[in-house]
Structure 1
């Protein structure tokens, strides 16, 4: 019985790398990366014009346009639905009912 358990454990250890290699993605070639960059630029993305504040939105919008042109429905990359206002400035009207500044009188 112990030899059977050892044999099964050995088979699992030897089969694990084969399964993990079968599911890995192949790296992109330079030609594929260049083709993707050309598609993004044709979709309106210009990396020399964008700034750090608009980079994520610009590239995601271009990726969404490229995906729509290619008919891709893989769900990988591109623009996502929903929004996030992390770090957005809160308006004074929403924080206080009065029109006074929070620093008034200090």
Structure 2
């Protein structure tokens, strides 16, 4: 009995830091999920039209459109920031 109790205490002592660190990670908030869904719908993805054969390709195409738009937006912001920082 004492031996199994010692093993249990040691196991709990080893696993408690792992459990504590697992709880500290936070997922997406509801607002972030809603914003992502709106972006996907604007990119042409319709979750209500879940065709088992094409929904994965539709989701990938929408993701590609979103990433392209975000990349173009970031490049435009960098270009405007570099023009604003030039002194005449």
TM-score normalized with structure 1 length: 0.44
Higher helix proportion, which one? 2
Aligned ranges for residues 38-77 of structure 1 at < 5 Å? Answer: 38-71=38-71
CA shift, 1:50, in A, is 3.2
Deviations 1:26-76, CA, capped at 9 Å, x for gaps: 31000000000000000000111230110110101101111111129xxxx
Count of aligned positions: 65
* Deviations 1:4-38 (CA, angstroms, capped at 9, x unpaired): xxxxxxxxxxxxx87xx78x953100000000000
**Alignment partners' CA distance in 1, 2:62 and 2:69:** 11
Structure 2 unaligned segments of length 5 or more: list them.
1-15, 73-88
SS class of match (2:47): coil
Listed as ranges, the matches of 1:14-93 within 5 Å are 25-71=25-71
Cα distance in 2 between the residues matched to 1:69 and 1:27: 24
In the other structure, the counterpart of 1:95 is none
Aligned to 2:36, what secondary structure does the other structure show? helix
TM-score normalised over the length of structure 2? 0.52
Higher RCO (C-alpha under 8 Å, 6+ residues apart): 2
